[in-house]
Amino acid sequence: MADHGGSLGRARSLFAHAPEPWVDLSTGINPHSYPLFDLPATVLARLPEPGRAGQLAAVAADAYGASSPRHVALAPGTQMLLPRVCSLVKPGRAAILGPTYAEHARAAALAGHSVTEGPDFSALSHADLAIVVNPNNPDGRIVPRADLLSLAAALRRRGGLLVVDEAFMDVGPMDESLCGDVGQGGIVVLRSFGKFFGLAGLRLGFAFASPQIAEHLDAGFGPWSVSGPALEYGIRALGDTAWQEAMRRRLAAETSRLDDLLAAHGVPADGGTSLFRHVTTDEAAGLFHALGQAGILVRNFTARPRALRFGLPAGEGDWQRLEAALSVWRDFNQGGGVRAAALR
């Protein structure tokens, strides 16, 4: 399996002597989860009611700005939708705007496409399947909605499909979302529930598409694709706009704090969203290991050794451990730099 953030098992095997508990900054999952609530036993015991799934689709359409629940397909996590969505067009050329989340390339290849991934947006219009993560993970790059709609129109004329993964669009800029545009056809938008609501273990995600595609995706998963707990949390949390607005402000404030902290230690963020920050530095490998030895896991990238991604600390204790570890690393690093200079 490809490497992903979020595995403390992997962290422990890399850094056997690190102090516990781990501070996990390796994901873009909100550390402040939607408030947990008790579920009636029937939610676990009984098959999910079809009517409840319909209700979640309606709440999701509202929350994400789709024109009707007929544009929504439910899934136990967005991840499981990727190969299905890539199979909506017959095997051909898939072009992914990258670098980005690695699972898109894997899913497109699995669906039989020849896959290219690169930074050239204009190359996407020649593909049969174009995939854009917006905002992008891990660097936060935004593609304007107008550009995506032009791309979708070009693809549509040739029977192609545009997939926009809006896993981090909950923290904006929401005006660039294509959830309201899927009625034009040839567009599938993916939305993830677990990241912004901090409930990744629930497994809940959505595809927004034409009613025909949404129905096709639903049929492929069959009845009861989403668990009882995921239905109940989805209905409550997606309908709770007050929590969502307050959380967006909170995450923006914490992101500013993280940016200040990183900049103060000589590794300023050069992108990201309010759920993670992206850093580019020649010292990435050393910093990854220094933090790991202090029991702090950040995300590194095999193919891009100068990049790191920092998620948000969960609470004051974690902030202080991060600050302390960054200080130790900077002092050691600068000391080493000074010594190296003295030797010249």
Residue 300's beta-bridge partner residues? 308
3-state class (DSSP) for residue 331: helix
From the list 232, 238, 230, 234, the residue with the least C-alpha distance to 170 is: 238
C-alpha angle 118/176/274, rounded to 5°?
80
Least Å distance, CB 53 to a copy of itself, is 10
CB of 160 to a copy of itself, least distance (A): 22
CB 107 to a copy of itself: min, Å:
7
Single-letter code of the amino acid located at 182? V
In the complex with a copy of itself, the residue whose CB is nearer, 219 or 253, is 219
Query: Do 23 and 312 meet the contact criterion of CB atoms below 8 Å apart?
Result: no
Considering the complex, state which of residue 80 and residue 154 has its C-beta at the smaller distance from a copy of itself. Answer: 80
Q: Which is nearer to a copy of itself, 30 or 125 (CB)?
A: 30
Contacts 24+ apart (CB under 8 A), 91-96: 92/127, 92/128, 92/129, 93/126, 93/127, 93/128, 93/129, 94/127, 94/128, 94/129, 94/130, 94/131, 95/123, 95/124, 95/126, 95/127, 95/129, 95/130, 95/131, 96/130, 96/131, 96/132
Site of interaction with a copy of itself (CB under 8 A):
1-2, 4, 6-10, 24, 27, 29, 31, 33, 36, 41-51, 76-77, 79-80, 82-83, 103, 106-107, 110, 194, 198-203, 219-230, 233
Instruction: Give min distance, CB of 340 to a copy of itself, in A.
Output: 39
Shortest distance in whole angstroms from residue 104 CB to a copy of itself: 11
Nearer to a copy of itself, 101 or 329 (CB): 101
Query: Is the CB of 9 or the CB of 282 nearer to a copy of itself?
Result: 9
Give whichever of 143 and 238 is closer to a copy of itself, judged by the CB atom: 238
Min separation Cβ 218 and a copy of itself, Å = 8
Q: Shortest gap between Cβ of 172 and a copy of itself (angstroms)?
A: 22
Measured CA distances, 97 to 104, 106, 197 (Å) = 10, 14, 26
Amino acid at 127: A
Name the minimum Å distance from CB 173 to a copy of itself: 26
CA atoms within 13 A on the CB side of 190: 31
* Cis peptide bond N-terminal to 173, omega within 30: yes
Looking at the Cβ atoms of 78 and 134, the one nearer to a copy of itself is: 78
- The DSSP bridge partners found for residue 73 are 207
Query: Parallel, antiparallel, or unpaired: how do β-strands 269-273 and 296-297 relate?
Result: unpaired
Would you say 22 or 64 has its CB closer to a copy of itself? Answer: 22
> At its nearest, how many Å lie between a copy of itself and the CB of residue 192?
11
| Helical spans, DSSP H, in 194-240 | 211-221, 228-238
Closer residue to a copy of itself, CB minimum distance, 48 or 295: 48
